[in-house]
Amino acid sequence: MAVSESLKQAGKQHQHLAALPIGQPDPIPKKTWRKRDAHGKADRRGLTAAEIAKQDLRLRERQDKKTAAEYA
């Protein structure tokens, strides 16, 4: 009886572990770089994602101000 109970428990554990997905982990995205200006120096360093986001936010805010001024 004790042996059959331990075998049942081992079988349940095996089924539980067999249900876990096994595969490659998701890849870590690499940093994206962008040049500061299209007409700047060739040896300038690239921008980090945070700097790009900051620059895009400033540009978007300027465009929003411009459109708000046109409608006002």
The reply to whether 27 falls in a domain is no
- Number of structural domains in the chain: 1
Instruction: State which residues form the domain around 58.
Output: 34-72
Q: 14 vs 1, 5, 7, 24, 51, CA distance in Å?
A: 20, 14, 10, 21, 50
| Of 39 and 15, more confident | 15
The reply to whether 64 falls in a domain is yes
The reply to whether 54 falls in a domain is yes
Long-range contacts (CB closer than 8 Å, 24 or more residues apart) made by 38-45: none
Q: Are 34 and 46 in contact (CB under 8 A)?
A: yes
0.75 surpassed by pTM: no
The reply to whether 11 falls in a domain is no
Listed residue (30, 61, 63, 62) closest to 48, CA to CA? 30
Residue 34: band (very low, low, confident or very high) from pLDDT cuts 50, 70, 90: low
Residue 58: band (very low, low, confident or very high) from pLDDT cuts 50, 70, 90: very high
The reply to whether 26 falls in a domain is no
